[in-house]
Structure 1
């Protein structure tokens, strides 16, 4: 299926926030244009409870897609927001596959209260941390709340992710607690937790071992406090050793290491459970 392409040069952040369609404020319209009014080529058909807006991130120095997913037939206003962070070489649009249905089904069945999932492009291989010219974590901490507030929506109260996104969700949870604004819940599917620098170095995501150790969730378990955390990982996954170490040290609220590998088959089995876990731990 075709990928999106960015049409035109990046616009100033304020222009993107105020021009064209309302984007996140109109969640449910199935938007197929960017916020400057240009057509955006999509690789999936958007459901009515999904919207996409393209904004300029000063922290990342580039345009990013912001994808909002809400339960079917539920207004966006007042919904608590959970970040959904994509994996390595992924993007925000990855979240459109499956999640709109699973979130809607869980809410319709009464398993969880309504909430919104928000995905944003974080870069293909930055592990959601600050790099010299691309600061995805500052985007999450500083810009995303501004974008949401300007659309009448609340700042994120939870975070989740797959693989590199699971790593990022744990780092984000730590940063929020350090800032005195802790999350209500976090979830990680097959988090990309390497147990040694030799393996992590192959990813070319960190400048050196010291930088990685300063960020690695396995080395900062106490910084998560008593946050409710759910963790899922297939027992044939390449990150199972790091995940088991995290489970042993962090003693998360929920942990599952059932048969599976690091692939979409396992992720699609785990994601509905992650949706229910997050929803079950939100304060409404």
Structure 2
């Protein structure tokens, strides 16, 4: 049985979105209708809800990032195709949303639900390094573009939680500063104790952007949300700062076991992180 469906974005849909119809309308479109057709026809290529596969991948036009981005929607197997809560999944580094498929997240999610958790979906989107620049704002994408995409795919438009690793871990903590999140899980988050340390990475175009996005500078805001933190004991660059953050935000769950900042550790930690957020449904 084919459990994945790939959705493509048409050139006409991009033009329509640019004309102000909204990126949420074009999410998941496979083909365009005739030029004379009304805008509603853009939505007619969406599969009926009863045919939604457990894994859907596609490309959406993001106004926040000023480009097309990958989106991956993962639902638990065997769950009726109806609107369910959403956990956002944020990748690390310059990787992409599809890395969560490589990490076996569809199987992990299905097992968590089989073990008794309330069904929820995991939605991963491509955010670059989650820092961006003047023409690329990944957090604007999450806050302004993503709700429409979720609604289009018959999911709850307001995510209840967010999980991320590496740069995506820091981005998850930044999202957790917004009202409405019931839980945040960050694995090996990339943190910087000072502007000098951040500047040496050449990731930030200016100090103001680092100050706005550095979780260690916003611990009072983060302290209002249940937070789980994971980091490998061999991850020398991140372990101490993650422990400092855990203390400052009074993290409700921490895990500092063997491992480094690599795929093996991320793959091992993600199931525990997903179980953590599932406990807040």
> What band does the TM-score fall into relative to the shorter chain?
0.7 to 0.9
Shift of 1:253: 0.8
Partner residue of 2:220 out of 210, 217, 222: 222
Contact 2:223–2:250, Cα closer than 8 Å, also in 1: no
Contact 1:27–1:68, Cα closer than 8 Å, also in 2: no
Gaps of 5+ in 2: 1-5, 31-44
Shift of 1:28: 4.7
Partner residue of 1:141 out of 143, 155, 159: 143
What does 1:73-222 correspond to in 2, within 5 Å?
Answer: 73-97=78-102, 98-110=104-116, 112-123=117-128, 125=129, 128-129=130-131, 131-155=133-157, 156-174=159-177, 176-177=178-179, 182-222=180-220
Contact 1:54–1:65, Cα closer than 8 Å, also in 2: yes
- Give the distance between the partners of 1:24 and 1:102, measured in 2 at CA: 26
- Give the distance between the partners of 1:134 and 1:90, measured in 2 at CA: 16
C-alpha change, 1:18 and 1:248, in structure 2 (3 Å) is closer
Q: TM-score, normalised by structure 1?
A: 0.81
Deviations 1:190-238 (A, max 9, x none): 0111223333223322122333123211110111243111110001112
Shift of 1:131: 2.0
Q: What does residue 240 of structure 1 align with?
A: 239
Deviations 1:42-83 (A, max 9, x none): xxxxxxx21112111111111111100111111342210010
Q: What does residue 37 of structure 2 align with?
A: none
Question: What SS class does the counterpart of residue 254 from structure 2 fall into?
Answer: strand
Deviations 1:107-155 (A, max 9, x none): 1122x211100001111x2xx2452111111110011001112333212
C-alpha change, 1:24 and 1:269, in structure 2 (3 Å) is farther
Q: TM-score, normalised by structure 2?
A: 0.82
Greater radius of gyration (CA): 2
Contact 1:130–1:138, Cα closer than 8 Å, also in 2: no
Matched, 1:22 2:46: yes
- Give the distance between the partners of 1:244 and 1:77, measured in 2 at CA: 39
Q: What does residue 270 of structure 2 align with?
A: 271
C-alpha change, 1:82 and 1:25, in structure 2 (3 Å) is farther
Q: What does residue 45 of structure 1 align with?
A: none
Question: What SS class does the counterpart of residue 231 from structure 1 fall into?
Answer: strand
Shift of 1:276: 0.5
Contact 2:186–2:228, Cα closer than 8 Å, also in 1: yes
Aligned residue pairs, count: 250
Question: What SS class does the counterpart of residue 183 from structure 1 fall into?
Answer: coil
What does 1:244-255 correspond to in 2, within 5 Å?
Answer: 244-255=243-254
CA RMSD of aligned residues (A): 2.3
Q: What does residue 63 of structure 1 align with?
A: 68
Gaps of 5+ in 1: 30-48
